[in-house]
Structure 1
Amino acid sequence: MAELMSDQFFSILIAGFLVGIVVGLTGMGGGALMTPALIFLGVGHTAAIVTVDLTAAAIYKTGGAIAHWREGSPNLTLAKWLILGSVPMAFLGPWLVSGLTDDPETLEKTLKLCIGVALLFAASTYALRLYINLRNVRSGGVLPDDNPPIRPIPTLLVGMLGGLLVGITSVGSGSVIMIALLMLYPGLSAVKLVGTDLVQAVPLVLAAAVANIAIHGLEWDLLIPLVIGSVPGTLLGARIAPRVAQSIIRRGIVVVLTMSGVALLFKAGLHPYGEGQETLEAITVALVGLAMLCLVPLVWGVLRKQNGLPMFGAPTVAELEEARPRPQS
């Protein structure tokens, strides 16, 4: 026990608790938030952090999946096709990366590069989801269909892409697969989307965790405080979610993901200003965040205008996030 109570025990516990609250509040980005948070804390090698994050995700996603299963919300046929694609690729992904090099430093940079790209991808899926909802609202909505005809090949490919991404980076089991399901099956209700995604995510992250543990081992001094912090944080976030403006938090998450993605690209060895220019790189990350805060609302306003809406006003971002398929007449 004394070995587990390292100097970083409480910093990991607090990070897990805070990220858990955000996940409970919004349902967004466990891996997309936790992995970069632990990397920037400097609590271990990136491979160890990815492994621990996937193992923790396998624990808390199982609880969410069981809850949705009992409510009957998952589309099990759709989940089956996603699992058939995602699980093999989630298991294969870590072996592909580890086969690239035997040099720990090169592996570290490769993983940070992959995670940085995955974070930027995850941030973009949030904007894409809002835009799809905007188009659906303007077209009068789509008919609800919680049991749509399954499109096996596209669904299988979505699972394969999501599995590969998660196996390598621990990012994407929610954000990337969710937006793909929204595009392939727009009639699915929000509860069906979430339930289906959670059910397929359990074997996905479990396969990814097993592969990473087999390659890198499991550092219990990272896992135990992460689980101790994240589980109550998630429960607390879920309890206070009805009283919190989630749309503002979600937009903040997108800014954080974008800044973290750019920072990790720099850490991976992409130095546009040359070696040793950490100050310029830090300024760039800050400017990216500032641009996200100032320019993205203007771009969003232009997109609204192109769809026949005023630049600002109804439907608001919060209303679009909660957009549902229109009922059948």
Structure 2
Amino acid sequence: MSPVLALAGFGVGVIVGLTGMGGGALMTPVLVLFFGVPPLAAVSSDLVASAVMKPFGSFVHIRRGTVNWRLVGWLCAGSVPSAFAGVLLMRAVGGAGGVQHAVQLALGGALLLAVGGLIVKAYRDGSRPAGGPSKPEIRVRPLPTALLGAVGGLVVGLTSVGSGSLIIVVLLALYPMLRANDLVGTDLVQAVPLVAAAALGHVIFGDFHLDLSLAILVGSIPGVLIGARLSSRAPAGAVRAALVLVLLASALKLFGASNLVVIGAVAAVALAGLVVRVVRRSGAARSGADRPVPGREGADQPAPGRPVTPPRDAYAGSNSR
């Protein structure tokens, strides 16, 4: 039982609870690169830990009402059977071959597309006038949702990556009007049966290590509870910003970028977002100051047809005389 591994699990748990993703994309590379765990053992043990951890974060979102249950049902209809099939396919192709590498590169590209989609969505939401519905109606598209859920499940079974991040991409592509808080809650809940199916396959056919999973869970369970509470209550803009940063970091790690490159890129994007936010808010404040106040425009001008009323001090001066 490694305290350092438990601490890493806590950090990843907070990210998973806050954004709905990052478990496989962050924890599996940490196990391989920093703790020297063989890749197959890292995938198997991380999936089992995620299967236990994610229900805790899901429960928080269920209580807060930030879950679209119809989306969860159709995603699971495609993802759960294909996740188990992905484990069998990984065993057939030999695990750590070129297939996994190609899938990880494709997933990294999908995550970068999701970053671009979130940034465009944030720009559109900032340009849209206030007063729209706080929770727009979402029309579920069953067949595309189930098919793309199946693709996500297959990737999770092959690599342990994507139960959160890839499904986030699917939801963003099909349902751009979904609020950020509902996006995270729906993604976390659908990931529970998806990860459980993949974890069962890895327990049977993979290289599961109980000590690794327990060390991750010691830190990740309190972490995911804290992150989920923050996500369910936080403003949508804050959750969207966290999604962008975690997606970017996950994509760069899937492309094999060094930790220094990942930290630098995430810091640069965060700084750029902060600058844009400050500039937009200052511009909105200036335009608000230049706009005339309703009911005050022409207040000093008499209405047509009404006599001009002298000021009170004029009457006071006449009476004194």
Same fold flag (TM > 0.5): yes
1:79 paired with 2:75, answer no
Q: 1:190 to 1:255 in 2, by over 3 A?
A: closer
Pairing partner for 2:191 from 170, 194, 201: 201
- Give me the whole-angstrom Cα distance separating, in 2, the residues matched to 1:24 and 1:171: 16
- Give me the whole-angstrom Cα distance separating, in 2, the residues matched to 1:143 and 1:239: 24
Give the aligned partner of residue 150 of structure 1: 140
Counting only pairs closer than 5 Å after superposition, residues 245-284 of structure 1 correspond to structure 2 as 252-263=245-256
Q: 1:25 to 1:83 in 2, by over 3 A?
A: closer
Q: 1:147 to 1:214 in 2, by over 3 A?
A: farther
Deviations 1:64-97 (A, max 9, x none): 2233334443222221111111111111112112
1:130 paired with 2:119, answer yes
The residue identity in structure 2 corresponding to 1:228 is V
Give the aligned partner of residue 183 of structure 1: 173
The residue identity in structure 1 corresponding to 2:256 is A
Aligned Cα root-mean-square deviation (Å): 3.7
Q: 1:12 to 1:158 in 2, by over 3 A?
A: same
Deviation at 1:217, TM superposition (A): 3.8
1:118 paired with 2:84, answer no
TM-score (norm 1): 0.69
Pairing partner for 2:214 from 221, 224, 230: 224
Deviation at 1:209, TM superposition (A): 0.8
Q: 1:183 to 1:256 in 2, by over 3 A?
A: closer
Q: Give the length in aligned residue pairs.
A: 277
Deviation at 1:286, TM superposition (A): 5.1
TM-score (norm 2): 0.70
Deviation at 1:24, TM superposition (A): 4.1
Q: Are 2:17 and 2:57, in contact at CA under 8 Å, matched by a contact in 1? A: no
Q: Are 2:180 and 2:240, in contact at CA under 8 Å, matched by a contact in 1? A: no
Unaligned runs of 5+ in 2: 283-321
Higher-Rg member (1/2):
2
Identity of aligned residues (%): 36
- Give me the whole-angstrom Cα distance separating, in 2, the residues matched to 1:154 and 1:168: 21
Pairing partner for 1:313 from 279, 296, 304: 279
- Give me the whole-angstrom Cα distance separating, in 1, the residues matched to 2:27 and 2:54: 14
Q: Are 1:31 and 1:53, in contact at CA under 8 Å, matched by a contact in 2? A: yes
Q: Are 2:66 and 2:186, in contact at CA under 8 Å, matched by a contact in 1? A: yes
What SS is found at the alignment partner of 1:314? helix
- Give me the whole-angstrom Cα distance separating, in 2, the residues matched to 1:235 and 1:76: 21
Pairing partner for 1:34 from 8, 27, 34: 27
- Give me the whole-angstrom Cα distance separating, in 1, the residues matched to 2:197 and 2:59: 18
Give the aligned partner of residue 55 of structure 2: 62
Q: Are 1:122 and 1:176, in contact at CA under 8 Å, matched by a contact in 2? A: yes
Deviations 1:266-300 (A, max 9, x none): xxxxxxxxxxxxxxxx6xx85676567658988x8
The residue identity in structure 2 corresponding to 1:58 is A
